[in-house]
Structure 1
Amino acid sequence: MAVCGAAALGVTLAGTMVPTASANPDNYIGFRNDSGYFVDTCYAWKGPAGIESKNYCHWARTVGTKWQAHFPEEATGVTVTVNFTGSHSEPVYIDNADSSHCYQITGVWPNGHLLKVQC
């Protein structure tokens, strides 16, 4: 019984020493605009209090362009609003800041699409 208690205490103590997860700033969300739209992407970072101060947008990205948003180090995820200018918006929910995520934007008015692709 004492061995089991010691093992449980060891697991509990080990669990308290594990650092909290944080994003690698080399990880990013990438977009490629192959659509007939100007596209805005706005980033609402998820993480500790105060991370909302790092929110920002990329405005009016044209056809044929590529761009990236790098995860802030303390981010745990992000909600990206992809706005097909003059048409509609699509949200992207990412709860894994431990890797990069890439998207291709396709279509012409009124049918713009957002496709997840390999980075």
Structure 2
Amino acid sequence: MTQTGMRRVKRAGGFGAAALATVLGGGLLTAPPATASTENFIQFTSDALYFVDTCYEWQGPEGIEKKNYCHNAKAVGTTWKANFPEGATGATVKVTFAGYTGGPPKTVTVDDADKNHCYQLKGTWLNYADVLRVNC
């Protein structure tokens, strides 16, 4: 092969690699954020000596806030869950312990809606309440 022919092969290979990198890189840059399957959930189990409210504020596309809701007055020994609505990318959950005097309600922030999240609630009357992340 002549020297001119070799340069053309090298140049074509370089263009091919650049095109491949652009396609792959562009795909990575334009990938949508992970959204929840409606089978994924946030679950709470109460071992707290309080009645507990959990209020869910879903993150995601415009309109997802219409799917916000609360579970109210859950007692010790109760387990409950909230499934991620379709299209949700995360959630902020406000956990309120009725009668707790140790500060504001607890907040749980979930940024990865593509898996299940489980929490155990602990607390004794008036001065102790906590939200602990546990394995599902």
Instruction: Give structure 1 stretches of 5+ with no counterpart.
Output: none
Q: Given residue 128 of structure 2, which amino acid in structure 1 is its aligned partner?
A: N
- Structure 2 residue corresponding to 1:112, chosen from 129, 132, 135: 129
TM-score, normalised by the number of residues in structure 1: 0.90
After superposing on structure 2, the runs of 4+ consecutive aligned residues of structure 1 that deviate more than 6 Å are: none
Q: Which residue of 1 aligns with 2:54?
A: 41
Measure, in 1, the Cα distance between the counterparts of 2:65 and 2:51.
25
Q: Given residue 24 of structure 2, which amino acid in structure 1 is its aligned partner?
A: V
Measure, in 2, the Cα distance between the counterparts of 1:47 and 1:101.
17
More helix by share: 2
Cα 1:14–1:89 shift into 2, 3 Å:
closer
Measure, in 2, the Cα distance between the counterparts of 1:14 and 1:106.
44
> C-alpha root-mean-square deviation of aligned residues, in Å?
1.8
Q: Say which is worse superposed, 19-28 or 78-87, in terms of deviation.
A: 19-28
After TM superposition, list the pairs within 5 Å mapping 1:1-119 onto structure 2: 1-12=14-25, 14-15=27-28, 18=31, 20-87=33-100, 88-109=104-125, 110-119=127-136
Question: Residue 48 of structure 2 aligns to a residue in which SS?
Answer: coil
Cα 1:20–1:111 shift into 2, 3 Å:
closer
Measure, in 1, the Cα distance between the counterparts of 2:98 and 2:83.
23
Percent identity among equivalent residues? 48
How many residue pairs align between the two structures?
119
Cα displacement (A) at 1:34: 0.8
TM-score, normalised by the number of residues in structure 2: 0.79
Measure, in 2, the Cα distance between the counterparts of 1:92 and 1:17.
29
- Bigger radius of gyration: 2
Measure, in 1, the Cα distance between the counterparts of 2:62 and 2:107.
22
Paired residues of 2:34 and 2:112 also in contact (CA < 8 A): no
Instruction: Give structure 2 stretches of 5+ with no counterpart.
Output: 1-13
Cα displacement (A) at 1:12: 4.8
